[in-house]
Amino acid sequence: MPTATTAVMHTDAAAGLTPHSFLQLMWLASPALPIGGFSYSEVLEAAINAALVTTEKEASTWLLQQLHLAQSRSDMAAIAQALPAWQNRDLARVQQLNDWVLSTRETSELRLQTEQMGKSLSDWLRNQHAADAERSAQIDQLAALSQRTPSYPIAFALAATYAQAPVQEALLAYAFGWAENMVQAAIKAVPLGQNAGQRILAQLAQEIPAAVAHAQSLTDSTRQAFSPMLAILSAQHEHQYSRLFRS
């Protein structure tokens, strides 16, 4: 597994960002953003039900591996490529990346998550930019990608362009928002105390820069979505008798 020391970040997270842009990224990363992220555990609940995650240490290890082996290599890599595509108004490239994200969802609940959060973020963007005709048209293009629902990573990339965020900073915000949601899921479902949750979040925050650097290094041929244990547990979670989360 990569560690935080495997990649040296040459700029501050906020370098080159105006105060407005920095606040926009904080907003996008906030669990309070009304896109429903809090209702998903991304299979963590199924891992807990299978007794694979029962302690703070096991929860931390699970989420760190998910950050590096799933998020960094898949959704974060797609965001890194989609953001410049949105900036260049390359809709063919955006569509290609959106189709890839949707095709990599191995269960119905994981597909539902990225579609629901993508649509909710699109609706939020439309409300935020209703007075801007050019941006409204671009958001409509997002919603109409090949008659398919926009995935969450591709919608997030568009939102990051409106914050005028460089790729690195956008990925840092995305990854921290993901980490906060996953830690809250662990606190509720393991269950864990708030202090344990903060310790796990601190470990994730330490590893996020390396995950971001890895995501930025990937190309179409090296980007991947291969997490068989997540797929198996997700399929089991779809039929789990009692559950708090939608995934």
Domains in the chain, CATH or no CATH each: 19-25+39-237 (1.10.4190.10)
**Residues 6 or more apart in contact with residue 186 via CB below 8 angstroms:** 44, 53, 59, 63, 192, 197, 200
Q: What pLDDT score was predicted for residue 20?
A: 87
**Residues 6 or more apart in contact with residue 150 via CB below 8 angstroms:** 98, 115, 118, 119, 121, 122, 142, 143
Cα 162 off chain centre by: 17
pLDDT category at 135 given cuts 50, 70, 90 is confident
Q: What pLDDT score was predicted for residue 147?
A: 57
Lowest-pLDDT range of 104-118, 141-155, 200-214, 224-238? 141-155
pLDDT at 109 over 90: yes
pTM here? 0.89
Q: Any alpha helices (H) in 35-193, and if so which ranges?
A: 44-49, 56-66, 75-87, 91-103, 108-128, 133-143, 152-162, 167-189
pLDDT at 138 over 90: no
pLDDT at 61 over 90: yes
pLDDT in tens, 2-49: 444 343 333 444 456 889 889 999 999 998 899 998 899 999 999 999
